[in-house]
């Protein structure tokens, strides 16, 4: 089917919830993807931090093929080997003792919200249910997770929101201390605000949250849906800061491209979930878990060290562009989660990158966001830098001619 026919069919039959680019992608290998007309692109979006190992990584493809021939779905009425093995791998690599599997980051955060409320009610009584979250946060698109999200643009049209969330500024410990009261049960935070503009935590911010939670007997929940699975140069972002949460959520790259989410928790907290309190029909199905096992095993020390090196290299290159062009306000990030904040809306830049063979993402209207596979090569980064330099030069000439 030709590109225009595919787009026509999509527009006719699919709910219009995305501002799609005029490209139909049909194939991917590693960093590269190809459209329906055979044009090649270098993908610096990675399915929004999903394809951490690139497109169609051989070990993930083989795991999916093998599992699909054996067992795809049974429901959680029965035990399965892939689910148990993936849970073992995740608990071994993290602070957690127990895992709940679901299908997405929003579902993982729903589970975390429910567990935090249930744990608090079990241990402290009925009136302790509020969760402190941050302005510019993003936790999902369900009614509970948009209520947790501290961005009004996601709230509009869906009011009344779920009660029980208080928003405070990111990187503001005094604001958290002021907001915490007798009704508070938890703090929910992304170690790095991803959709909010790749906002980095201050050096002692997450440690400060941990201390508040210890002092006030609150649960600390880390949303690592986008930062987890090696994206920051550590397997989990919290490892950079010398502290750990009580609950953590994962999704995005956990399945190497296959939809899966997970909520991890300390055993003491996880005990508040018993049969009947929470469930997911498809959560942790054998196919998704087989892909997850392959994805977890593939992100080894070499991949993590490569991510850190190439991320540092990428940031240095982008900062050189900042020195050259006054309309670049900031470059920030960690590992291969990098943002470049501009002084104007940037969708036009992503469209120009697309024309020149690069998939680039943006968020918060003015922040170019770079999320290449963790195994991206420096020469591939150099090619993108050259294209950005070219585009920025054209913008500069238009501004000052």
Q: Are the C-beta atoms of 259 and 51 separated by less than 8 Å? A: no
Closest CA to 335 of 296, 375, 366: 375
158 contact partners, CB below 8 Å, separation of at least 6: 143, 146
Q: How many CA atoms lie within 13 A of 244 on its CB side?
A: 13
Catalytically annotated residues: 138, 223, 252
- Beta bridge mates, 186: 131, 219
> By C-alpha distance, which of 233, 225, 301 is closest to 50?
225
Q: Which of 204, 241, 202 is nearest to 224 (CA)?
A: 241
Residue from 364, 285, 302, 305 nearest 332 by CA: 364
Contacts with 191 (C-beta within 8 Å, 6 or more apart), sequence order = 201, 206, 222, 224, 227, 232, 237, 238, 240, 241
Task: Judge whether 185 and 116 are in contact, CB under 8 Å.
Answer: yes
What is the separation, in whole angstroms, between the first and last Cα of the chain? 44
Pair of tokens at residue 222 = 């880390």
Question: What is the C-alpha separation between 199 and 212, in angstroms, rounded?
Answer: 21
Q: What is the Cα–Cα distance from 89 to 57, expressed in whole angstroms?
A: 19
Cis preceding linkage at 160, omega within 30: yes
CA distances from 288 to 143, 254, 386 (A): 25, 9, 38
Strands 165-168, 328-334: pairing kind: unpaired
DSSP 150: B
């Amino acid at each position: 089917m030709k590109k225009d026919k595919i787009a026509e069919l999509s527009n006719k039959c699919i709910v219009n919830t995305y501002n799609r680019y005029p490209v139909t992608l049909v194939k991917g290998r590693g960093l590269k993807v190809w459209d329906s007309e055979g044009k090649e692109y270098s993908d610096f979006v990675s399915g929004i931090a999903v394809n951490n190992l690139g497109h169609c990584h051989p070990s993930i493809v083989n795991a999916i093929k093998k599992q699909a021939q054996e067992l795809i779905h049974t429901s959680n009425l029965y035990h399965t080997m892939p689910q148990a093995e993936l849970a073992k791998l995740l608990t071994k690599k993290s602070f957690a003792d127990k895992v709940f599997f679901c299908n997405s980051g929003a579902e993982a955060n729903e589970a975390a919200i429910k567990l935090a409320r249930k744990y608090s009610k079990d241990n402290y009584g009925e009136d302790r249910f509020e969760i402190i979250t941050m302005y510019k946060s993003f936790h999902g698109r369900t009614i509970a997770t948009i209520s947790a999200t501290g961005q009004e643009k996601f709230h509009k049209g869906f009011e009344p929101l779920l009660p029980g969330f208080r928003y405070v500024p990111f990187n503001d410990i005094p604001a958290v201390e002021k907001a915490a009261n007798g009704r508070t049960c938890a703090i929910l935070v992304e170690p790095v605000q991803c959709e909010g503009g790749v906002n980095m935590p201050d050096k002692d911010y997450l440690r400060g949250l941990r201390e508040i939670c210890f002092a006030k007997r609150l649960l600390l929940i880390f949303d690592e849906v986008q930062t987890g699975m090696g994206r920051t140069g550590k397997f989990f972002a919290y490892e950079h800061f010398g502290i750990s949460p009580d609950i953590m959520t994962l999704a995005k790259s956990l399945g190497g491209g296959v939809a899966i989410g997970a909520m991890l928790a300390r055993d003491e907290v996880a005990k508040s979930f018993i049969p009947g309190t929470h469930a997911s029909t498809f959560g942790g199905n054998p196919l998704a878990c087989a892909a997850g096992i392959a994805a977890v095993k593939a992100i080894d020390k070499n991949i993590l060290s490569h991510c850190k090196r190439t991320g540092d290299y990428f940031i240095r290159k982008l900062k050189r562009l900042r020195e050259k062009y006054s309309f670049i306000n900031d470059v920030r990030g960690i590992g291969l989660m990098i943002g470049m904040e501009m002084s104007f809306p940037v969708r036009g830049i992503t469209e120009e990158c697309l024309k020149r063979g690069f998939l680039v993402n943006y968020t918060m209207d003015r922040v170019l966001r770079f999320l290449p596979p963790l195994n991206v090569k420096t020469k591939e980064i150099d090619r993108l830098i050259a294209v950005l330099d070219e585009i920025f030069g054209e913008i500069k000439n238009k501004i000052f001619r």
